[in-house]
Amino acid sequence: MPKNPFSEFNALLQAQRQRLRDEMRAKIAASGEGLGFANQSKITDDDALADAAAEMDLAMVIRESRELQDIEAALGRIAEGSYGACTGCGGDIGLARLKAYPAAERCLPCQEKYERLRGQVHMPRL
């Protein structure tokens, strides 16, 4: 018997973390090249296109770095023994949900509530 019942998820999360890191490295390297192209294309009218492409890469990198943070947090919870418990209600997240999304920190009802609340937050206009 493994010491940690979530050692399987630990291995999975570490593999995901490695894959994301590799992807981000590749994207950053690629957008560096894209920047070079943007500079070269100053004579043409492709600047806007090159900028948009660079921004899309950046958005992708930001999204993946958030995913990476989720994964890091999940690995931390495995290490401290709180993995698998919902950070919202303290209940079990459930193996099916963890298998679908090992970095999940909330059970499905709490996640839905969280996303609904977050979607409804409107900053007052000053």
What is the rounded distance in angstroms from the CA atom of residue 55 to the CA atom of residue 39?
A: 15
The answer to the question of residue 88 lying near Zn ion (CB under 5 A) is: yes
Q: How far apart are CA 96 and CA 91, in angstroms?
A: 14
Q: Which of 89, 92, 100, 112 binds Zn ion (CB under 5 A)?
A: 89
Give 103 or 110: the residue with its C-beta nearer to Zn ion: 110
User: For the chain, what percentages of helix, strand and coil (3-state, to nearest 5) are there?
Assistant: 70, 0, 25
Q: Contact at 8 Å (CB) between 27 and 65?
A: no
The count of residues interacting with Zn ion (CB under 5 A) is: 5
Contacts of 7 (CB under 8 A, 6+ apart): none
Choose the binding region for Zn ion from 29-37, 74-82, 99-107, 117-125 (rule: CB under 5 A): 99-107
**107 near Zn ion, rule: CB under 5 A:** yes
Question: Which of the stretches 13-21, 53-61, 80-88, 117-125 binds Zn ion when contact is defined by CB under 5 A?
Answer: 80-88
Q: Which residues bind Zn ion (CB under 5 A)?
A: 86, 88-89, 107, 110
